Amino acid sequence: MTQPLTYPALRSAVLRRVFRRPSQGAELCERSWCISPAEERFERAALFLDGELEKVHDVQEDTTMEAEVRRVTSGLRTHAETRGYQFKDVTLLNGRLIKGAMSRRIAELESDPPGEDVRMASAAVGSTYMGSIYFGHWLRDDATLNIAVQSLAPTIHVARKAYSHEAGYRELLSLDERHVARGHFGELIVLDDWGQNAYKRQRYQELRARARQAIPQRGNELVYLKRGRTSGLRGRDLLNADVVEAVLLREGFVVADPDTMSAGEIAALSMDAKLIVGVEGSHLAHAIYPIAHQGTILVLQPPYRFNNVYKDLADAVGLNYAFVVGDPEQGGFTIDPDRLRRTLDLVPA
């Protein structure tokens, strides 16, 4: 029997970043409560060719091979609850909640950022630790969290350097944008909102509806999300990108280039797309709100950074998920055009 997937290794790796000592969060928190319960669902397998998993050399640093294999194969999954934590009489400074000698990190900051210095009786944090590191987590996790905390207290976001498409998505999805660099709070609410539970799925759909309200016209059915060079960061550059792009253009794809297009332009180009293809990474988040219901995300995977975080989202909102694993080359990787074409053939019409 397939064992339920709770992502223990993935979750513990993240928590090790957030809590420098295991007891820090518990000692700071005055109370906690369940907002949406955990649930179990049977999830479908990803679409991929025989032999793809054997091509994987390593995984992204925040996950494990075991977790990734379970993600892309069918089985029973346990999706964590959404839980609230109330902190009293705390200070926010340098991305940490501080009370006496204890602190809890809620954002990863390179330096003390510009932003408001406030004193508030009550507030709720609308940003996440992982969202302060990765654009993809910001657009997925922070955007949905925004909806959850609005009914609890006035919303604040930990100030940090903005992502290049952040302002555009805040406008497109009607998200608030009050950034606080430091402050003191009589009461502060922070949510643990990792799980793809019913409440999280509801909020994804709300944001997808907002995107369609903002851009009611349909875009293109087949979209390639182009990715720029990453300076050879751990083999992430697609070295035969011109070959891959040529294959996709012949199949009828149009190219969305986040390096040159705004959030609104990308969303308009890909609104209700049936299939969106892109290299693994945060820029794939551009697909999650415009893609059609029951559409497909096809991920081009670097063999040294295998990561399927968008499979979780695909399962949550009823999308198909497919992937092709590349071949390692000096300074990056390549995608076999024949394997790409054959994987495209697996995608439902």
Instruction: Give, for all 349 residues of the chain, the pLDDT tens digit.
Output: 333 444 334 444 443 343 333 334 556 789 999 999 999 999 999 999 999 999 999 999 989 999 999 999 999 999 999 999 999 999 999 899 998 888 888 898 877 677 788 999 999 999 999 999 999 999 999 999 999 999 999 999 999 989 999 999 999 999 987 899 999 999 999 999 999 999 999 999 999 999 999 999 999 999 999 986 554 455 689 999 999 999 999 999 999 999 999 999 999 999 999 999 999 999 999 999 999 999 999 999 999 999 999 999 999 999 999 999 999 999 999 999 999 999 999 999 8
Q: Do residues 235 and 331 make contact, with C-beta atoms less than 8 angstroms apart?
A: yes
What confidence score (pLDDT) does residue 19 get? Answer: 36
What confidence score (pLDDT) does residue 147 get? Answer: 96
What confidence score (pLDDT) does residue 60 get? Answer: 92
With CA atoms as reference, report the closest residue to 143 among 170, 124, 167.
Answer: 170
> What is the Cα–Cα distance from 277 to 317, expressed in whole angstroms?
18
> What is the Cα–Cα distance from 76 to 43, expressed in whole angstroms?
6
Taking the CA atoms of residue 242, residue 247, residue 250 and residue 254 in that order, the dihedral angle to the nearest 10 degrees is: -60
Q: Do residues 123 and 155 make contact, with C-beta atoms less than 8 angstroms apart?
A: yes
> What is the Cα–Cα distance from 78 to 203, expressed in whole angstroms?
19
Please state the pTM of the whole predicted model. Answer: 0.89
> What is the Cα–Cα distance from 286 to 271, expressed in whole angstroms?
11
What confidence score (pLDDT) does residue 235 get? Answer: 63
Token pair for 48: 């991929």
What confidence score (pLDDT) does residue 33 get? Answer: 96
Domains of the chain, CATH where assigned: 8-36+82-194 (no CATH), 41-78+218-344 (3.40.50)
What confidence score (pLDDT) does residue 233 get? Answer: 54
Backbone angles phi, psi at 158, to 5 degrees: -65, 125
